[in-house]
Structure 1
């Protein structure tokens, strides 16, 4: 039995701001993680490729409001910073 991935611990080094903001980023990162895991069976952010995150932003958030997409892009930028990658998402 494997231990589940702790998104809060993963993002701890890059999270800043108020408690509510940190909780929102953690909640959204867990949603991103769940959707990518369902679609591609990639359980941790270390296994993700740029196409996985781009798919989430394009297909899972396509019908959402502009404000919702904006907040998810902020969370994706935190994930990108934590992964130390140079992925750029202009949404």
Structure 2
């Protein structure tokens, strides 16, 4: 039996700011993870590619407000930083 991936532990090393900000990033990262699992069956960020995160931004946040897209973009940047990748995203 596999233990579910702990997104909070994954982001712990790169999370900064207030408690509410850290919780928002964790909550949004779990939403991103759930969408990618549903679409591509890729459970951990270590198996994600740039195209998966770009798909999330374009198709899942396309109709959301600019502010919502911005906050998700900040969370995506934290994930990318934790993965030690040099991917960039523009909203």
TM-score, structure 2 normalization:
0.99
Alignment of 1:1-91 (within 5 A): 1-91=1-91
> How far, CA to CA, are the matches of 2:50 and 2:38 in structure 1?
16
Q: Which runs of 4+ in 1 moved over 2 A?
A: none
Alignment RMSD: 0.3
How many residues were matched structurally?
91
TM-score, length-normalised on structure 1?
0.99
Unaligned runs of 5+ in 1: none
**CA offsets, 1:14-37, max 9 Å, x none?**
000000000000000000000000
In the alignment, the residues of structure 1 paired with residue 57 and residue 90 of structure 2 have an alpha-carbon distance, to the nearest angstrom, of: 10
